[in-house]
Amino acid sequence: MHYPFKNPPLPYQYSALEPNIDSRTLHFHHDKHLQTYVDNLNKALEGHPQYQNWTLEELIAKNHELPDELRNPVKNNAGGVYNHILYFESMCSPNTCNPSGKLEQLIKDTWGSLDIFYAKLKEAALGQFGSGWAWLLMDVKGELHIKNTPNQDVPPFAEFYPLLLVDVWEHAYYLQYQNLRAGYFDCWVDLINWKNVEQRFETACTLAEKA
C-alpha cells in the first residue's frame, strides 16, 4: 500500500459490533476519522513524488529520513491510517473467545493468567492520558509486552511486532459511552478477534526466528 492511500472498507458490516460498539460510532470512526487521516496523508505527500512509492510501514519506520516539513504530518497521519486499519481488523462480532494454543500459553507464562492480562491491558488503556492506544506487542526475542502510546504513535517496528491494539481516543467511544473509557474497554474486550491476533502472532514468531 502506497500513495495515493485509500480507506479500506470495514471487514464487516457497520452493525456487526453491536451492541458493544454501535453502527453510528463505526460510521463516524471509519468514514470520517480514518478517512481524514487517509486524506491528510495523501495531501502531505502530494507535492513530494520521491516519497510516493514508500509503503505505509516505510513512511512510519523511516520518518526521520523525510524532510522537516513532512515529518510531523506523515507521522501523525500514517500512524492514524496504520493504527486504525489494525484496530478495525482486530475486532469481530461480540463473542466470548479467548486466545488459544501457543499464544494463550505465552500470555499465561508472561502474566500468570488471562484475567491478569486483561486487567493489565485495561490499566494501560485507562492509564493513557489523553488520546492514544493500548497495545499487546511481541518483541524480537519473542516476549510479550503491554504498552500504551500517545496520539497516533506506533511502537517502533524494529523492536516490536503489533498483535492487538485498542483505540482510546474519545472519538472511538464518546457517542455511545461519553466519558466512560472503562465501560467502552470492558465491551471492546468481547469484540477481540482472537483468530486474527493469533495469525499475527504466528507471523511475529516467524519473523522473530529470522531476527
- Exposed (0-12), middle (13-18) or buried (19+): which is 90, by Cβ within 10 Å? buried
Q: Phi then psi for 149, rounded to 5 degrees?
A: -135, 145
How many contiguous H segments (helices) and E segments (strands) does the chain have? 9, 3
26 in Cβ contact with 173 (< 8 Å):
no
Check residue 161 for interaction with Mn ion (CB under 5 A): no
| DSSP strands (E only) in the chain | 132-139, 144-150, 160-167
**Contact flag: residue 192 with Mn ion (CB under 5 A):** no
Kindly tell me which of 29 and 200 has the beta carbon lying closer to Mn ion. Answer: 29
Q: Which of 133, 169, 177, 188 binds Mn ion (CB under 5 A)?
A: 169
Task: Report, in Å, the least distance between residue 21 CB and Mn ion.
Answer: 11
By CB under 5 A, tell whether 138 contacts Mn ion.
Answer: no
User: Per CB under 5 A, which region of 14-22, 67-75, 162-170, 173-181 contacts Mn ion?
Assistant: 162-170
Smallest distance, Å, CB 84 to Mn ion? 6
Q: Of 99, 134, 152, 167, which lies in the binding site for Mn ion, with binding defined by CB under 5 A?
A: 167
Amino acid letter for position 22: D
Closest approach of Mn ion to the CB of residue 37, in Å:
9
Residue number, 140 or 187, with CB nearest to Mn ion: 187
Residue 177 CA: distances (Å) to CA of 122, 148, 182 = 16, 21, 9
CA 192 – CA 174 distance, rounded (Å): 19
CB of residue 63 to Mn ion, shortest distance in Å: 20
Under the rule (CB under 5 A), what is the footprint of Mn ion?
167, 169, 172
